[in-house]
Chain A
Amino acid sequence: MSRERILAEIRRSLKRREALDENVRRGIEARNADIHPHVQPAYDEDLVERLVRKHRDLHGSVEPIDTALHIVNAVIAYLRDNDLPQRLVAADRAPVKDLPWGDGVTCEHRPARGDDAVALSVADAAIAETGTIVVVSSPDSPMTHNYLPEHHIVVVPVSVVVRWQEDVWRILRKRPDFPPRGIAMISGPSKTADVEQTIEYGAHGPRNVHLLLLGDGQARGA
């Protein structure tokens, strides 16, 4: 009822009696089928270098690692350096799925709870343009990992680093679950400027976003 009333009022304001005629509709559909980016900021910095620089500017930290075997050691060192308990929640997908954590560390694959201090995720993409990490939700990758724990460690394979935001849309459209339920674009840690207009980190979400930049075993080029 409200729906019809609103649509009728819109059409009246647009000086149209009916829904669109076929020609106009086809024109609109053509516009939206012809997928291309509009205006993108030009830059010629190396993609990975820019990602790292931008992410650090956003108050995040980065640690390069050579292979997936180094994830365990890097995480354990991070927990130790930050005085954190030796436990975490992690995505249930490669390359963080079946890692040899050893006896001292508890790693669970489940959604985050209010008292989890650390989550370990895998980036589906990373946008060099703005230093943004993209994590897509799925049964293996719960959304709560991105927002509840105080520390968010994200494995970013260099192969997922893209130049612009629109590259992410291009990649995601190929997924069978497109559009996924959640597409998290994360640009640095949680922050607020609501007290004295001065930035404090760790407002509701992570105080730190720590990237484990996972090399592809090859010499790096742009």
Chain B
Amino acid sequence: MTVAQSSKAFKVRSRRALLDNDLREALGRARGGFVEQRRAAFEALPEFEALRDAANEIREHTLSHLDYYLERYAANVEINGGTVHWASTAEDMNRIVVDICRRAGAKLVTKGKSMVSEETDLHHALKAAGIERMETDLGEYIIQLADEPPSHIIAPAVHKTRAQITELFHANHARFGIEGRAEDRTAIVAEARRVLREAFLSADVGITGANFLIAETGSNIIVTNEGNGDLTSCLPKVHIVTAGIEKVIPTLEDLSVFLRLLGRSATGQEMSAYSTLYSGPARPGDSDGPAEYHVVLLDNGRSTMLGNEFHEMLRCIRCGACLNHCPVYSHIGGHAYGWVYSGPMGSVLTPLFKGLEESYDLPNACTLNGRCQEVCPMRIPLPSLLRRLRQRQVEAKITPARQRLALSMWSRLAARPRVYRFVTNLSMRSMAWLGRRRGALRYLPAGRGWTRGRDMPAPEGATFMTRWRRRGEQDT
């Protein structure tokens, strides 16, 4: 069977190579589109800087009174007839959601795009409970079929080509009685519409994220272009909203500031097609809407972050602009970052949530060119935060000696722009190849001695967040 084996291996190899080109092409296209559209949108908006100022002021005000706003928000949700659940950890959130689903006798849940449920790995908890889940954002649905994590927070399936989607659909949709292949874009979208419509109509529970929570009204807002978040919110008899505690803002007037920044920063749109505020379950006399409305507020380390040198990251509105403008991201794609959050914001968040050891390379896979900070509507100083993380790594002594040497060589190199640019240009090209691997970046450009010596430092058991907490306790 040597021939078959080798041809199999050949297939794998060539598919990889293809994937590689596809990935680069898709990322290039997405990047070009998003960057250009964002630029045009803000050029047409002289109030951009004033809006950024206002948004930052609102976020800082809310964060510095976060206990007040969360309690006020929760009280208003209950006045609307909803239920608020508080989850300290990812496991807490998953348990709460699974319990609600079980009580509802749920067999099928539909999910609108929700970053926090990726963060808590809710998928596995639902699976373990025997509950089927269907992602309803087309991009999320595609990668669910492919069994991959999202590669971009706004465009989760940006790395998938049309032909790949056609094959995925063909392989998975026979069970819905669909025989042929949807080849062109319109046919693909129509087929997804048909399959997902069935799911929307038969789901027992709908789970969505929230772009913001409004304390004044006890509402969540969900912003989408497809309308999947709304069908997920309106049709099942139980609606569960999952949201990080930093998502709360005071009033509807505050919301308007963020909405003017969000769509423009993400895709260059003034408004996404659907921005919908939901306040509780169906009211007396309503002929549609869920009978139950739950909100799960997730902490998962955010409350600790609030008091440390990374608190600025809590201003993030998950718009994705920093990803689109990051040269590293646009060469390697989201999967290389190894977790739900990618690009510059992911390089900050992943080590904070997952621990410095597990994501050692992320804060270092940055050219410190500063584009992310320039485009970030919330003016988050991403390069500084990454530098702080590096410093923490060094302080925490989780870097073997050879890495530290390389790190200092890297920074010396970085101090000489022309040489640096030459070297990083070379390595960028090789990073496209590296990025195809799933999991964290194991090799870094222009730092071979460093990465070779680094392979897998033994985890210390405690995550960065918990060490920070301990440190904080010692300090006070």
Contacts and interface: CB of A to CB of B under 8 A. Distances in A.
Interface of A: 2-3, 5-7, 9-16, 19-20, 24-25, 28, 31-32, 35-42, 54, 58, 110-112, 114, 129-132, 137-139, 142-144, 146-148, 164-166, 169, 177-198, 200, 202-206
Contacts of B327: none
B51 interface: yes
Contacts of A139: 283, 285-287
A179 B217 contact: yes
Contact of B226 (A11, A20, A129, A204): A204
Counting chain A CB atoms within 10 Å of each CB, the highest count among B66, B215, B226, B250 belongs to: B226
A37 B256 contact: yes
A101 B306 CA distance: 60
Contacts of A144: 234-235, 288
19 contacts: A6-B303, A7-B67, A10-B70, A39-B54, A40-B256, A41-B45, A42-B46, A58-B273, A166-B252, A177-B283, A187-B271, A196-B162, A197-B30, A197-B158, A202-B189, A203-B193, A204-B136, A204-B227, A205-B227
B307 A15 contact: yes
Contact of A147 (B46, B227, B303, B305): B227
Contact of B273 (A15, A28, A31, A188): A188
Contacts of A197: 26, 29-30, 33, 155, 158
Given A58-B273, A186-B273, 16 more contacts: A10-B67, A14-B67, A14-B306, A16-B67, A40-B47, A129-B270, A143-B234, A143-B289, A144-B288, A147-B227, A147-B234, A184-B274, A194-B157, A200-B186, A204-B226, A204-B231
Contact of A204 (B218, B228, B281, B288): B228
Interface of B: 26, 29-30, 33, 45-47, 50-51, 53-54, 58, 61, 64-68, 70-71, 80, 85-88, 92, 136-139, 142, 155-158, 161-162, 165, 185-186, 188-190, 192-193, 196-198, 200-201, 215-219, 225-228, 230-231, 234-235, 245, 250-254, 256-257, 259-260, 267, 269-283, 285-289, 297, 299, 303-308, 311, 472
Nearest to A114: B201
A196 B26 CA distance: 7
A197 to B, nearest CB: 5
Contact of A6 (B45, B88, B157): B88
A10 B66 contact: yes
Contacts of B92: 2
B189 A195 contact: yes
B230 A2 contact: no
Contacts of B305: 13
Contacts of A189: 273
B286 A38 contact: no
Contacts of A177: 283
A184 B276 contact: yes
A187 B277 contact: no
A58 B299 CA distance: 37
A190 B67 contact: no
A36 B67 contact: no
Nearest to A112: B288
A90 B28 CA distance: 44
A10 B138 contact: no
Nearest to A18: B67
A210 to B, nearest CB: 15
B65 A20 contact: yes
Contacts of B279: 179-183
Nearest to A11: B67
A15 B271 CA distance: 38
8 shortest interchain CB distances as A-B pairs: A13-B307, A205-B227, A139-B285, A203-B226, A9-B303, A111-B288, A179-B217, A194-B139
Contact of A193 (B68, B155, B282): B155
Contact of A42 (B47, B197, B225): B47
B193 A202 contact: yes
A90 B473 CA distance: 61
Given A2-B86, A38-B256, A204-B231, A14 B307 contact: yes
Contact of B307 (A12, A204, A206): A12
B138 A195 contact: yes
A181 B139 contact: no
Nearest to A5: B88
A19 B68 contact: yes
B287 A2 contact: no
A37 B235 CA distance: 33
